[in-house]
Amino acid sequence: MQEKIVEVIQLSKHFGKTVAVQDVSFDVYQGDVFGFLGPNGAGKSTTIRTMLSLISPTSGEIRLFGKSLSSHRHEILAKIGCIVEKPDFYRYLSAEKNLEIAGRISGTRITKSKIHEMIEFVGLKGRERDKLGGFSHGMKQRLGIAQTLLHDPELIILDEPTTGLDPQGIIDIRNLILQLSKERNKTVVLSSHILSEIELIANRMVIINKGKSIVQGEVKTLLNSEDLIVQFESDRAFDAKSYLQKQFKNVSIEIDEQLLSIHCTQEKIPEINKILCDQGFQVSSIQSKRKLEDYFLKLINQ
Amino acid sequence: MFLRSTYNEFIKIASKPRSYMGFGAITLLVGVILFAMKMDGLAFISFITASFEQTLSFEGNILNGNLIGFIILQMLVIHIPLLIALVTGDLVSGEAAMGTIRLLLTKPISRTNILMSKFVAGCCYTLIIIFWFAFMAVVVAKILFGTGDLMVLNNDGLVIIKAPDVTWRFLSAFALAFLSLATIATLSIMLSCFSENSIGPIVATMAVIILFTIINTLDVQVFDRVRPYLFTTHMAAWRSFFSDPLPKREIIQSILVLLAHIGVMLSIAIYKFNRKDILS
């Protein structure tokens, strides 16, 4: 059985009369890329800040690496690298000096060569002596990742790491997270309000809304349980539609020239394809599109 | 870890442009006073000594570096708190405003250690400012005006301190001035723990100093009981080192009151900082 790296148990945080997080529980296992999903204001950042002891919980417990955060704070934080909300650095210092400052209190001896290795890893080589005042958001985000990895942490916590990035920046950060998980075997907790982002990166996830966890589990299982829109490109699309509607009475089929859009589950795709082929229709492409927004909205509106 | 964190704080203070404003301001202000004294110092001194000239005769170099140093110390020591608060008031709240507080507090170091390293760095900055002030006010003044006996006008009358007796008095006076300014540094660090922006604690520190100074100077009976416990009452205690005989009891009392203020304010700061939810 995989080792539990994070255990959030019945976590609640109240700010006066405002309930930010209410009885949230989830587990993250060794090697997971764990998605922490929810709309803005759902309580993601509050939960993450509590996991990093930036905020004290009103009730509940957080255990990391099998130990309670409240009693083993130093030991636990030495094994964590994180970016909370956005990577903020000292604007009047260079990238290199900022990493030196972070490294000096990271609990591990960080050499200059390690700092330069990290700067190179995130693609900022040549800019290490530049002051942060002149860095773009994307560059700060990269430096944030370098700071996160500086002391070779076992657990990486990234709060909305792609916010404010351009499409290329989003792809870069996504690839970097996948690389950290696959090549360096890091456990990653990733918060986001974008389901497609979590779907692309995470293997497990929890969805929270209004401070409460709604659902958690394997990403594939959670998303596969929902209907898809599957687009079959076929010749004689009108005939194919008529035939399929006779076979599957409760299935909704829409047609657009040679494209049949069918609402069905993942398991139905091979069956539909076989029927079409058996009836002599030529299927030239099959594309499945998940109704992510619908799924997400359905959950959070429950 | 504490030493590393303190080293970090030194680097941050040394890298901020605002940290050099104090040095610039002291250089400019002392420079202006030295220039004025060089140009018209004798007239200034004769205005002070005029009332004594019928009963006393003054010989030798009255307008010397020691006297100029004393005048500068008296004129400027009340303005330096602003220069100190400008840096120390920003130590915690500046990190909150910039967002770097999250970087610090997610590292394996206790919040108390982080705050103490800021306190130590703030006190060191204060000490360096005092050194620079002492250098400009006394050393440069002695180079320009030479040395001699120090003539001080106290509440008790005119006190003449012999030249060889002056150096230790200046050193003690600057040490006590440092303690006063360290109290200001602690006050601004404490206020900084309650704020999320840089400017608030600086303004609040000056507001407290102005309020306490008004209470000190207002000759109203209702404030008589609190006056001995206000740190502003003891900020001018450095002057006692230029009295003859030395009022040891008052000096020790001032030192204890200032130390008590530092202790209490630092404890409040640690308490608040340890319980602070980081929402910025």
Given a cut of 60, is residue A28 above it in pLDDT? yes
Is A105's CB within 8 Å of B7's CB? Answer: no
Is A54's CB within 8 Å of B108's CB? Answer: no
Query: Is B235 within a domain?
Result: yes
Residue B3 C-alpha, separation from nearest chain A C-alpha, in angstroms? 10
Which residues from A are below 8 Å from B102, CB to CB? 54, 84-85, 88
Q: Which pLDDT score, from 0 to 100, does residue B53 have?
A: 64
Residues of chain B with pLDDT under 70: 47-60, 76-77, 155-156
| Strand order across the beta sheet in which A204-209 lies | A80-83, A155-159, A187-192, A33-37, A204-209, A212-218
Q: Could you tell me if B8 lies within 8 Å of chain A, comparing CB atoms? A: yes
Confidence of residue A251 (pLDDT cuts 50, 70, 90): confident
Q: Could you tell me if B276 lies within 8 Å of chain A, comparing CB atoms? A: no
Q: Six-digit token pair at B277?
A: 């939810």
Strands A283-290 and A155-159: unpaired
In chain A, how long is the greatest CA-to-CA distance? 71
Q: How far apart are CA A116 and CA B96, in angstroms?
A: 28
Q: Which pLDDT score, from 0 to 100, does residue B180 have?
A: 92
Chains A and B: how many Cβ contacts under 8 Å?
Answer: 80
Q: Which pLDDT score, from 0 to 100, does residue B55 have?
A: 67
- DSSP conformation class of A111: -
Q: Which pLDDT score, from 0 to 100, does residue A1 have?
A: 60
Q: Which pLDDT score, from 0 to 100, does residue A8 have?
A: 92
- In three-state secondary structure terms, A61 is strand
Task: Write the residue in B16, B103, B109 that is nearest to A88 by C-beta.
Answer: B103
- In three-state secondary structure terms, A149 is helix
Q: Which pLDDT score, from 0 to 100, does residue B151 have?
A: 79
Given a cut of 60, is residue A280 above it in pLDDT? yes
Which residues is B150 bridged to in the sheet?
B161
Query: Is B280 within a domain?
Result: no
* Cβ under 8 Å to A: B residues 139-158: none
Query: Is B29 within a domain?
Result: yes
Is A74's CB within 8 Å of B110's CB? Answer: yes
- DSSP conformation class of A133: G
Query: Is B167 within a domain?
Result: yes
Q: Six-digit token pair at A203?
A: 């293997």
Half-sphere exposure of B49 (CA within 13 A, CB side): 20
Given a cut of 80, is residue A94 above it in pLDDT? yes
Residue B106 C-alpha, separation from nearest chain A C-alpha, in angstroms? 6
Query: Is B104 within a domain?
Result: yes
Q: Give per-residue pLDDT as tens, A32-42.
A: 899 988 888 88
Q: Around Cβ B143, how many Cβ atoms within 10 Å?
A: 11
Query: Is B192 within a domain?
Result: yes
Query: Is B40 within a domain?
Result: yes
Nearest CA in chain B to A49: B278
**Between helices B111-134 and B166-192, what is the axis angle to 10°?**
140
Residue (of B85, B119, B73) closest to B236 by Cα position: B73
- DSSP conformation class of A134: G
Q: Which pLDDT score, from 0 to 100, does residue A225 have?
A: 60
- In three-state secondary structure terms, A302 is coil
Q: Could you tell me if B20 lies within 8 Å of chain A, comparing CB atoms? A: no
Query: Which helix H or strand E contains A177, and what residues bound it?
Result: helix A167-183
Cβ burial of A42 (10 Å; 0-12, 13-18, 19+) is buried
- DSSP conformation class of A7: E
Residue B203 C-alpha, separation from nearest chain A C-alpha, in angstroms? 23
Q: Name the domain count of chain B.
A: 1
Given a cut of 80, is residue A267 above it in pLDDT? no
Q: How far apart are CA A251 and CA A274, in angstroms?
A: 16
Q: How far apart are CA A34 and CA A27, in angstroms?
A: 9
Residue span of the structural domain in which B77 resides: 2-275
Is A91's CB within 8 Å of B98's CB? Answer: yes
Indicate the Cα dihedral angle B106, B110, B111, B115, nearest 10°: -120
Placement of tokens 């002149």 in the chain: A134
Query: Which helix H or strand E contains A27, and what residues bound it?
Result: strand A18-29
Q: Give per-residue pLDDT as tens, A50-67.
A: 999 999 999 999 999 999
Domains assigned to chain A: 4-223 (3.40.50.300), 226-300 (3.30.70.100)
Residue (of B174, B141, B125, B156) closest to B9 by Cα position: B125
Which residues from B are below 8 Å from A141, CB to CB? none
Q: Could you tell me if B1 lies within 8 Å of chain A, comparing CB atoms? A: yes
Cα first-last separation, chain A: 33
Q: How far apart are CA B49 and CA B85, in angstroms?
A: 37
In chain B, how long is the greatest CA-to-CA distance? 72
Q: Could you tell me if B14 lies within 8 Å of chain A, comparing CB atoms? A: no
Is B107's CB within 8 Å of A82's CB? Answer: no
User: What average pLDDT does range A163-180 have in this prediction?
Assistant: 82
Long-range contacts of A212-221 (CB under 8 A, 24+ apart): A212/A22, A212/A23, A212/A24, A212/A43, A213/A23, A213/A24, A213/A25, A213/A26, A214/A299, A214/A300, A214/A302, A215/A299, A216/A26, A219/A35
Residue A206 C-alpha, separation from nearest chain B C-alpha, in angstroms? 23
Nearest CA in chain B to A100: B8
Given a cut of 60, is residue A291 above it in pLDDT? no
ipTM of the complex: 0.81
Which residues from B are below 8 Å from A147, CB to CB? 103
Positive/negative CA dihedral, B4, B6, B8, B10: negative
Residue B59 C-alpha, separation from nearest chain A C-alpha, in angstroms? 55
Is B103's CB within 8 Å of A85's CB? Answer: no
Query: Is B11 within a domain?
Result: yes
